[in-house]
Amino acid sequence: MACTEAGLQAGFHAIGDAAVTSVVDGMRQAAEKLGLARVRAARHRVEHAEMLTPETIAGFAEFGLTASVQPAFDALWGGEDGMYAQRLGAERARTLNPYAALLRAGVPLAFGSDSPVTPLDPWGTVRAAAFHRTPGHRVSVRAAFTAHTRGGWRAVGRDDAGVLVPGAPADYAVWRTADLVVQAPDDRVARWSTDPRSGTPGLPDLSQGAELPVCLRTVVGGRTVHVGPDE
């Protein structure tokens, strides 16, 4: 409530189902006192947001919460025999990191690495979301790419950033990669996007085993801040 009244975004570190439920319940109380529109306008954020239910996903959508998530967690710890299953049981583990359900509900997604917990590996992060160990949670490569570019900027209220258009801030990276493709690992997610007639721009092939792009140069605000070894 204090952050909303001050026009500030609040960030909540909430991983488990009880923690996420507590955040949603708190948002509901804030909205009852301050009004739903003011709470949504603050664009509060939840870091990690791994274990959600249909009810808490609906709450995220209702209160305009951004889910700041780390797909590499699933790549490392997901699956039927991973750490999640060992510690929570396979049934509960299958509910973790439900990216497709969040997108369907209209919840803004922002991808990150949580480095040094997992490496700074943006294309590996996009791959992890597109090839989620639980197939029902997969999103298209295009949706994952958007969450890891525009999503982060939008999470901090910068709706103008994260795109390459005239007049936009000169923040970009140059990558060496193989041929670009239009890829949807799960036909249920984006059946239309792989049709060449759609004109959807291509992205690197992120299939398991494919070589990931190599960063040659990073530019922030028009200034080069990193030059790769191969440029």
- Digit-coded pLDDT (tens) for 213-225: 999 999 999 999 9
Question: Which residues constitute the domain of residue 32?
Answer: 2-162
d(CA 5, CA 25): 18
At residue 197 the predicted structure's pLDDT band, cuts being 50, 70 and 90, is low
CATH of the domain at 88: 3.20.20.140
Strands (E), the chain: 11-14, 45-48, 66-69, 109-111, 172-176, 180-181, 203-204, 214-220, 223-227
Examine residue 101 and state whether it is found in any structural domain, yes or no.
Answer: yes
Q: State the virtual CA torsion across 185, 106, 202, 188 in degrees, nearest 10.
A: 30
Q: Under 8 Å CB-to-CB from 47, ≥6 apart: which residues? A: 11, 12, 13, 14, 68
Examine residue 212 and state whether it is found in any structural domain, yes or no.
Answer: no
Per the model's pLDDT, the better-predicted residue between 202 and 61 turns out to be: 61
Question: Strand, helix or coil at 211?
Answer: coil
Examine residue 27 and state whether it is found in any structural domain, yes or no.
Answer: yes
Q: Under 8 Å CB-to-CB from 197, ≥6 apart: which residues? A: none
Query: For the residues 35-49, what does the mean pLDDT come to?
Result: 97
Is the per-residue pLDDT at 155 higher than 60? yes
Examine residue 146 and state whether it is found in any structural domain, yes or no.
Answer: yes
Query: Looking at residue 199, what is its pLDDT?
Result: 61
Token pair recorded at residue 188: 């249920």
Query: Looking at residue 185, what is its pLDDT?
Result: 62
**pTM of the model as a whole:** 0.90
Examine residue 115 and state whether it is found in any structural domain, yes or no.
Answer: yes
Q: Strand 180-181 to strand 45-48: parallel, antiparallel, or no bridges (unpaired)? A: unpaired
Q: Over the Cα atoms of the chain, what is R_g?
A: 18
Instruction: Count the domains in the chain.
Output: 1
Cβ atoms of 129 and 99 within 8 Å: the answer is yes
Which residue, among 145, 154, 222, 138, has the nearest Cα to 177 in the 3D structure? 145
d(CA 57, CA 24): 9
Is the per-residue pLDDT at 70 higher than 70? yes
Query: Looking at residue 75, what is its pLDDT?
Result: 96
Other C-beta atoms within 10 Å of 83: how many? 13
Examine residue 168 and state whether it is found in any structural domain, yes or no.
Answer: no
Other C-beta atoms within 10 Å of 211: how many? 11
Q: Please tell me the least confidently modeled range out of 8-22, 84-98, 124-138, 189-203.
A: 189-203
Q: What percent of the chain has pLDDT over 70?
A: 92
Examine residue 182 and state whether it is found in any structural domain, yes or no.
Answer: no
Examine residue 75 and state whether it is found in any structural domain, yes or no.
Answer: yes
Is the per-residue pLDDT at 100 higher than 90? yes
